[in-house]
Amino acid sequence: MKRFLGILGLIIVLVAAYLVNRRLSAPPQLHLQETGKEATNALPVTVSRVRPRAVRDIVDIIGVVKPMKQAAITPKIPARIVTLLVHQGDIVKANQILAKLDMGDAQAQIASAKAAQQAAEAQWRKAIDGMNADRTNLSAQVAQAKAGLQSSQIKLNQAKLGMTMSQQSSISDMERAKAAVSQAQAGVAQAKTGYAQAKDTVKRLQFLYDHGGIAKTDLDSAKTQEKIAKEGLDSAKAALAQAEAAAKPAIQSVSLREKTTQGDVSMAQLGVDQARQGLKTAQNAKKDALLVDQRNVEAALAQVRQAHAGLQALIAQMGSQYLKSPISGVVDNLNATVGDYAQPGMPLMTILSTPAVYLQTSAPARYAEGLKPGQPSRITVDTLPGKFFYGVVWKVLPFATGDNRSLTVDIKIKGSTVGLMPNISAHVQVELARDENALTIPLEALRSEGPNPYVFVVINNRAIRRYIVTGYSEGDYIQVVSGLKKDEDVIISAPASLDTGSLVHQEGG
C-alpha cells in the first residue's frame, strides 16, 4: 500500500510540475484571465475589417495645355499694316485673312508679273485655237482626197468592165454594139458627175485661197483634177460616139471597141494614180502642219510655265499683301496695330492650334520608373468646373528637368478638346497601376514606428501589434501587401494608452 501511495504522489507532483511549466512558458497576454475588474477596464476601440477592393496607384500632377502646332505671322518684306482683321483670343480658320499690308512697289511688281502670265496664257490659247482650226481644215482636205480616190477607182472599175465586155467576141455584133453604146453612155454620165464635182471643188478652194485659207499648190492640184475630169468627160463622149459607130460591120467594131476600152482603162488608171497621190499629199500636209502647230503650242505653254514660275518666285520673295493663317487656331501674342510698320522676322501675332492640343506636365522624378506611355489619365481645368477630360500618357522625356527633381510628361487628350485653350493650367491624375482585388485598410488604422508601419489587430478581445508592408493608396484606403489576412479586424481609433496586449471592447466598425 505504501508503495502505491508513493507512486500516486509522484504522479501528482509530475502533473503539477507540467501545469506550472506550461503556464510559465505561454505568452503572458494569452494567460491573462478576464476578471470582473479587467473587463471593466477594457479600452473602447473602433475597428475595421480587412476587405479586398479595387485600388489604383495615382499620381497627381499639374500641367499646361499646349498647342499641337503654332505659327508665327510675319511679312516677307517691310510693309505698313493697312487693316487688322483679328483681335487677341479670336478663333480663326486655316487660310483666313488676318491682316492687309501696303506692299508699295512690291505690289506693282507682282501685278506686272501677273499680267505677263496672263499674256502668256492668252498666246497659249491662241496657239491651241490655231491648231484646232488647222486640224479641221486639213481633215476636210484629206476627206476630199479620199472621195476623189474612191471616184477614180469607180471609173477604173467601169473601164475594166467595158474592156471585158468588148472582149466577149461570142456575142453578136449588134449586142456588142448596143452594150458598148450603153457602156459609153454610162461613162459620159459618170464623167459628167466627176467633172461637176471637180468644178465644185475648184470653186470652193478658189474661195478659200482668196481668203488665205489654203496654199496655191492645193488650188492648182484641184484645177488639175478639174482638167482631168474634163478630159474624162470628153473621152466619155468620144467613147459614146465610138459606141454609136459600132453599128458598123462586126470586125471593124470589135477592133475599134478594144482600142477604145483599153484607152478608157489607161485613162481611169491614171486618174486613180493621181487621186492616190493627191490623198498622200493631203495626209502629209496635215501631218506636217499639225506637227508645227503642236510645237507652237508647246512653246507657248513653256512661256506660260515660265511666267507662272516667275510670279510664284516673286510672291515667295515678297509675299502677298494679305497675311493669312496657315492653321486653324486661336490668336495669341498680338502686338500689332493698324499703321504699324511690320518687319520681316518680327511676328505680328502667333496662331496656336485648336482644337489640336495636348497637355504638358512636370512629374516628380521618383515616378520615372512608373510613368509609361499608354497609361490612362483624367484631366480637369479650373475654367470648366465639374467637367472631365480623359487622355493617355503620350511621351515621357528620358531625362529630368534642370532641377533634377522632375521630368516632363506629355498627355494626349482623347475625344473632344472643346474648352481646352492653349496656355491654361490643368490638374492631371495619371493611373500608374491598378489592383482589382487588393487587401485594404483605412489610412487612419496605420501607425508607424520609425520607418516600420504597423496596425493593431483584435484577437480574443486583445490588441495585438502587427507589422505590415503597404502598397499604394487611393482616397481613404491603403493597400496591404503582407502582414494581414482577409476578414481580420484592425483598430482605427482607440485611447492613447492602447498597447499590445491591452484588453479592448469594440464600439463599432
**Same domain? 191 vs 283:** yes
262 φ, ψ (degrees, to nearest 5) = -65, -40
Which residue reads 503572458 in cell numbers? 28
CATH of residue 414: 2.40.30.170
Domain co-membership, 63 together with 78 = no
pLDDT band of 490, cuts 50, 70, 90: very high
What is 404-447 written as a DSSP string?
SSEEEEEEEEES--TT--TT-EEEEEEEEEEEEEEEEEEGGG-E
pLDDT exceeds 60 at position 4: no
Residue 492: inside a domain: yes
Contact 396, 407 (CB under 8 A): yes
Query: What is the per-residue burial (b if ≥16 Cβ within 10 Å, else e) of 363-381?
Result: beeebbeebeeebbbebeb
pLDDT, residue 122, reads 94
Q: Is residue 126 part of a domain?
A: yes
Question: In this prediction, what percent of the chain has a pLDDT beyond 70?
Answer: 84
Reply yes or no on whether the pLDDT at 508 is more than 90: no
Q: How much is the pLDDT for 9?
A: 52
Taking every pair of C-alpha atoms in the chain, what is the biggest distance, in angstroms?
Answer: 197
Same domain, 285 and 401: no
The Cα–Cα gap between 465 and 82 comes to: 81
Look up residue 80 and give its DSSP letter. E
Whether 184 and 267 share a structural domain: yes
- Polymer length of the chain: 509
* 121 domain-assigned: yes
294, 392: one domain: no
Q: What is the pTM of this model?
A: 0.44
Cis peptide, bond prior to residue 355, ω within 30 of zero: yes
| pLDDT at residue 2, rounded to an integer | 45
**Helix or strand or coil: residue 384?**
coil
Structural domains of the chain, count: 5
Q: Is the pLDDT of residue 373 over 60?
A: yes
For residue 356, pLDDT over 50 is answered with yes
Residue 253 pLDDT grade (very low, low, confident, very high; cuts 50, 70, 90): low
Higher pLDDT, 420 or 35: 420
pLDDT tens track for 134-190: 899 989 999 999 999 899 899 889 888 877 776 665 456 667 767 777 877 788 888
415 in a domain, yes or no? yes
Domain that holds residue 216: 112-313
Cβ burial of 316 (10 Å; 0-12, 13-18, 19+) is exposed
Query: In CATH, what number is assigned to the domain containing residue 460?
Result: 2.40.420.20
Of the given ranges (278-292, 311-325, 365-379, 386-400), which has the lowest mean pLDDT?
Answer: 311-325
Which residue is associated with the grid cell 482626197? Answer: 145
> What's the rounded mean pLDDT across residues 413-420?
85
Could you tell me if residue 341 is left (phi over 0), alpha (psi between -120 and 50 degrees) or otherwise beta?
beta
Backbone angles phi, psi at 348, to 5 degrees: -80, -30
* Shared-domain flag, residues 428 and 452: no
Q: What is the mean pLDDT of residues 221-239?
A: 85
Measured between alpha carbons, how far is residue 346 from residues 77, 103, 327, 502 in Å? 11, 17, 19, 78
Same domain, 424 and 460: no
Strands 425-442 and 376-380: antiparallel
Same domain (yes/no): 304, 323: no
pLDDT of 34 over the 60 cut: no
| Chain mean pLDDT for the chain | 82
Helix (H, G, I), strand (E, B) or coil at 294: helix
- Does residue 211 sit in the same domain as residue 78? no
Do 268 and 159 form a contact (C-beta atoms < 8 A)? yes
- Per-residue exposure over 158-179, b if at least 16 CB sit within 10 Å of its own CB, e if not: bbeebbebbeeeeeebeebbeb
| Out of 217-221, 300-304, 498-502, least confident range | 217-221
Q: Are residues 339 and 421 in the same domain?
A: no
Q: Of 503 and 262, which is predicted with more confidence?
A: 503
Exposed (0-12), middle (13-18) or buried (19+): which is 491, by Cβ within 10 Å?
A: buried
Grid cell 473602433 in the structure block, residue = 46
